[in-house]
């Protein structure tokens, strides 16, 4: 079972920008308490590497990955910190090849069939469909994914995904897990609103369970 299979079981991956490494463990605990021990810590802040390292070392039950990985150096830093997977908003063949060499499961961002084919050439089991809603939403992804259904590649739509449109995304069989930016917002983390983050995580878990039970 791959790490992407495990992410698929949860159905949602909190996408997180965090500015202070001292908040890493309270964040992890809030997500764990909400039944969602998964996080994509984006390399949009200087604290990202330290946050990943703290969570990986002190909360081994968390499946922590790195997001916004744009370079080979960031892929190395993410893996050294303990990231179990990495994602990117776009696709870069050199970074993909490097991730393969070091054994880091990597899901690049795609928005077109041509980009998807590049990901397939690099044997990516999952890609990030980004930015999901501005790119055309579930209907656009349905049409992009259809000719490639036989390949088995999965999708992680991120960008504009909400609890309200979650059923539309999960109705697509190729969608493995959505990226949830609403679960642990930068503002809530900065303010230490851990109870709110726990509630958001629990609500997302419950909604996904309900959607899948009716599928």
From the candidates 33, 40, 115, 209, which is the catalytic residue? 40
SS (H, E, C) the chain: CCHHHHHHHHCEEEEECCCCHHHHHHHHHHHHHCCCCEEEEECCCCCHHHHHHHHHHHCCCCEEEEECCCCHHHHHHHHHHCCCCEECCCCCHHHHHHHHHHCCCEECEECCHHHHHHHHHCCCCEEEECCCCCCCHHHHHHHHHHHHHHHCCEEEEECCCCCCCHHHHHCCCCECCEEECCCCCHHHHHHCCHHHHHHHHHHHHHHHHHHHHHC
Q: pLDDT tens across 8-33, in order?
A: 999 999 999 999 999 999 999 999 99
Q: pLDDT tens across 51-90, in order?
A: 999 999 999 999 999 999 999 999 999 999 999 999 999 9
pLDDT at 13: 98
Domain residue ranges of the chain, discontinuous segments joined by +: 3-214
Q: What would the mean pLDDT of 158-180 be, rounded to a whole number? A: 97
pTM score = 0.97
Does residue 156 register a pLDDT over 90?
yes
% of the chain at pLDDT higher than 70: 100
Whether 40 is catalytic: yes
From the candidates 9, 72, 128, 203, which is the catalytic residue? 128
Q: What would the mean pLDDT of 166-177 be, rounded to a whole number? A: 97
Residue identified by tokens 């089991």 is 125
The second-level CATH assignment, the architecture, of 3-214 is Alpha-Beta Barrel (3.20)
Average pLDDT of the chain is: 98
Banded pLDDT at 215 (limits 50, 70, 90): confident
Whether 128 is catalytic: yes
């Amino acid at each position: 079972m791959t790490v992407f299979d495990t992410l698929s079981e949860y159905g949602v991956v909190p996408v997180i920008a965090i500015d202070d490494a001292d908040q890493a463990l309270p964040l992890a605990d809030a997500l764990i308490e909400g039944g969602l021990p998964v996080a994509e810590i984006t390399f949009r802040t200087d604290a990202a590497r330290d946050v990943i390292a703290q969570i990986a070392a002190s909360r081994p039950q968390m499946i922590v990955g790195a997001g916004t990985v744009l370079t080979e150096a960031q892929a190395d830093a993410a893996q050294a910190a303990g990231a179990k997977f990495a994602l990117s908003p776009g696709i870069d063949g050199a970074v993909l090849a490097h991730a393969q060499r070091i054994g880091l499961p990597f899901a690049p961002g795609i928005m077109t069939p041509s980009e998807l084919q590049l990901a397939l050439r690099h044997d990516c089991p999952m890609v990030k469909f980004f930015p999901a809603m501005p790119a055309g939403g579930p209907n656009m992804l349905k049409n992009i994914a259809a000719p490639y259904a036989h390949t088995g590649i999965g999708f992680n739509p991120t960008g504009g995904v909400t609890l309200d449109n979650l059923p539309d995304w999960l109705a697509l069989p190729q969608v493995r897990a959505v990226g949830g930016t609403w679960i642990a917002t930068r503002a809530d983390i900065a303010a230490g609103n851990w109870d709110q983050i726990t509630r958001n995580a629990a609500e997302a878990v419950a909604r996904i369970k309900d959607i899948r039970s009716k599928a």
